[in-house]
Chain A
Amino acid sequence: MTKLTLSRGLNEGLRKALENDPKVLIMGEDVGKLGGVFRVTDGLQKDFGEARVIDTPLAESGIVGTAIGLALRGYRPVCEIQFDGFVFPAFDQIVSQLAKMRYRSRGQVSLPIVIRIPFGGGIGAVEHHSESPEALFAHTPGLRVVACSDAADAFTMIQQSVSSDDPVIFFEPKRRYWDKAEVDTAGGLAGALPFDRARVAVEGTDVTLLCYGPLVRTALEAAAAARADGRSIEVIDLRSLSPLDTGTITASVRKTGRCVVTHEAPVYAGLGAEIAARVTEQCFYHLEAPVLRVGGFSIPYPPSRLEDHYLPDLDRILDAVDRTFGW
């Protein structure tokens, strides 16, 4: 076991993927010498060459569009989109081409492409650098959408995503890039939790708290604080946003009878809505209270001096938890 930052966990995972399969490529803006603006690809071009770690022109649709062509040729490109708010020029290629090619070809064409997107706020950034567009992709059939929350998952999930024959939108919690965790870099993927499964991060009995990406740490802190007050929160890191691991979610809610979902993205038509609907349908007679959602407001991401008000934090999460006991 080694203690690594989340960024380094991704880096080591990508290194393994490049080593294990000569068809794996990295492509994106500044991924070469600079190692990416978050250093996720640091040193990879030096070790694997410019033909495999490709600094691309500054055009996101071009990155994804040419990655599709490379995948049609048998390659497995891993694309980096520099920031969440910059993915939209590539949205057409992702939604209209990447997600649909297997279906269009009746299964004759696979596009094993990973699109890495640093997402979420909390870093004091300017506009377009703090967004959480995951629901847009989760709403698109044909894509897998995952979010890692710590270095260990970053290391395994990026490798699992590269191995997947489906296109994967891989969300990275940018404000957690420098959080450290123990990672078993020598271990293979054989014993790892599949990347389409949720993980019970901490067990509890009174309420189920569903989260992913940057809010997993916040949720764990909330659970620790609640424990001091004698309340037992079960925290589930969803990890896979599409498809959802509904089995793990419903098993927990049937046990606790209460459910809170939290994400940074706006609550309105967000993933929490899908989860609340499914939990209500499948756990109706087990619920002591409605499923509550804690997330961003129905506003564009605010200027960063206000982001602490916008982002769900420990207090807002615990407020919702408390409310589930008031029904």
Chain B
Amino acid sequence: MTVEPGIAPAAATANREPSSQPEEGLIQLLTPEGELIGHPDYPLDLTTDDIKDLYRDLVLVRRIDTEAIALQRQGELGIWASLLGQEAAQIGSGRALAPDDMVFPTYREHGVAWCRGIDPVKLLELYRGVSHGGWAPEEHKFSLYTIVIGAQTLHATGYAMGIQRDGRETSEAVIVYFGDGATSQGDVNEAFVWAPVFNAPVVFFCQNNQWAISEPMEKQSRVPLYQRARGFGFPGLRVDGNDVLACYAVTKKAMQAAREGQGPTLIEAYTYRMGAHTTTDDPTRYRLASELEMWKLRDPIERVRAYLARGGLAGPEFFAEVEAEAKQTGARVREACRTMADPPPLAMFDHVHAEPTAILRQEREQYAAYLESFEGPENGPANEEAAR
């Protein structure tokens, strides 16, 4: 899957055949078949109950994602960015965090949001167009979704520098999420310069889902992404992004290293975007169905299920219970989305500055007067909008 130096990228792209070979240097604890193989550098400190909890998380976030896609198709959401296929990368890393650790997400981190206690309905607000992000970042230690690719890597690095200045570097660290496409952005590369220079306690968690909308990895890099870190002077590693246990273990270790003053780590979670980039995208225009079929065999949920079932660690009643909970969560999210009200029109003038400026106050008053000029409040164009 990777392009070796010396091979022209164009040639590599032309005949891009999916490979079933495990990628070089891939850290894996649980095989796609559900066999727990372990890793000498990453001893697992999870009980069976913990693993069952991870399974539950995986199933629930996939259900929420499925519901959101359906809601978009029904016109309830403007757009949705699916996490299908990336559940393990997000749940494994998200559950490895300590409560005080700070998270900087992209717009696809619904699984990490789940781990930080964000109500999925809050995520839907953004995709419905009701808000730009409805949660309190510090309360959940989960920053707002950043839509500009890679910009949040610098925020995370600065936040980590703040932790150092607070003298809290032994107890708090930062994790920032981004994708394979983002690694081409200047901001990500600047963050890679900054973090080691200041030895900032930040972990760079790259979900390499192989596709930046339509552009494959070969269009972003001639070297495996985790190797990029070395040139910037900090360690990088590649983990099976569909292995929730491996993602958990490597993230936990990297976060601990950051807290111990060892600076940043780049984690490349090697995974696959099973769905479209967003609901507006059509991946059949640019990728092979066989690639998708190959990655289905590496499903992040099936392997945990196989592990739990095969070892008799969980019985049918457990799986049924999780399924029922997923169904219930889906129904709740669906209902909350459908009944979500639009904000009142004048709310758009709020929170531009700490205190509204005179010019903005005036614009607000003039627009309010304009709305009131319609005969009866129900006839105003904005209210018509609200009633829709």
Contact = CB atoms under 8 A, between A and B. Distances in A.
B352 A69 contact: no
Nearest to A74: B162
A89 interface: yes
B191 A92 contact: no
A304 interface: no
A107 B349 CA distance: 11
B197 A109 contact: no
Interface residues of A, number: 47
Contacts of B186: 59, 61, 89
Interface in A166-197: 166, 196
Q: Which among A106, A109, A166, A246 has the greatest number of chain B C-beta atoms within 10 A?
A: A106
A65 B132 CA distance: 19
A109 B137 contact: yes
A57 B192 CA distance: 11
A142 B352 contact: yes
A97 B162 contact: no
B155 A68 contact: yes
A61 B154 contact: yes
Interface string B154-171: 111111111111100000
Interface of B, secondary structure class, is: helix
Q: Which among B143, B146, B190, B197 has the greatest number of chain A C-beta atoms within 10 A?
A: B190
A224 B134 CA distance: 56
A20 interface: no
Given A66-B154, A72-B137, A106-B350, A59 B190 contact: yes
A65 B353 contact: no
Given A57-B193, A106-B134, A108-B136, A73 B154 contact: no
Interface in B153-202: 153-166, 186-187, 190-191, 193-194, 197
A43 interface: no
Interface string A80-115: 000000000100110011001111111111100000
Interface residues of B, number: 42
Interface string B131-145: 111101110000110
B7 interface: no
B226 to A, nearest CB: 22
Nearest to B353: A166
A62 B353 contact: no
A70 B159 contact: yes
Given A72-B137, A243-B357, A106 B154 contact: no
Contact of A103 (B132, B137, B159, B187): B132
Contacts of A246: 358-359
Nearest to A141: B352
B190 A62 contact: yes
A75 B194 CA distance: 18
Nearest to B156: A69
A68 B136 CA distance: 17
B154 A103 contact: no
A320 interface: no
Contacts, number: 135
Contacts of B154: 61-62, 64-66, 68-69, 93
A64 B153 CA distance: 12
A103 B354 CA distance: 10
Contacts of B359: 243-244, 246
Nearest to A65: B154
A51 interface: yes
A57 B156 contact: no
A66 to B, nearest CB: 3
A164 interface: yes
Nearest to B361: A243
B131 A51 contact: no
Q: Which among B134, B154, B359 has the greatest number of chain A C-beta atoms within 10 A?
A: B154
Given A107-B351, A141-B352, A72 B187 contact: no
Contacts of B190: 57, 59, 61-62, 65
Contacts of B360: 243
A293 interface: no
A263 interface: no
B26 interface: no
Contact of A73 (B158, B193, B350, B353): B158
A15 interface: no
A157 interface: no
B70 interface: no
B132 to A, nearest CB: 4
A5 B173 CA distance: 43
Given A62-B191, A89-B186, A108-B137, A165 B158 contact: no
A74 B59 CA distance: 37
A164 B355 CA distance: 10
Contacts of B164: 51
B151 interface: yes
Contact of A66 (B133, B157, B357): B157
A69 B157 contact: yes
A67 interface: yes
A190 B351 CA distance: 26
A62 B194 contact: yes
Contacts of B187: 61-62, 65, 92-93
A144 interface: yes
18 contacts: A51-B164, A59-B194, A64-B154, A65-B190, A69-B160, A69-B162, A70-B159, A70-B162, A73-B165, A89-B186, A100-B132, A102-B351, A102-B352, A105-B137, A107-B351, A108-B136, A196-B357, A243-B360
Across the A-B interface, give the 10 residue pairs with the lowest CB-CB distance, nearest first.
Answer: A69-B158, A65-B154, A73-B162, A66-B158, A62-B190, A107-B351, A69-B159, A243-B357, A165-B354, A69-B155
Interface of A: 25, 51-52, 56-57, 59, 61-62, 64-75, 89, 92-93, 96-97, 100-110, 141-142, 144, 164-166, 196, 243-244, 246-247
Given A73-B165, A108-B137, A246-B358, 7 more contacts: A59-B194, A61-B187, A65-B151, A65-B153, A73-B162, A243-B357, A243-B359
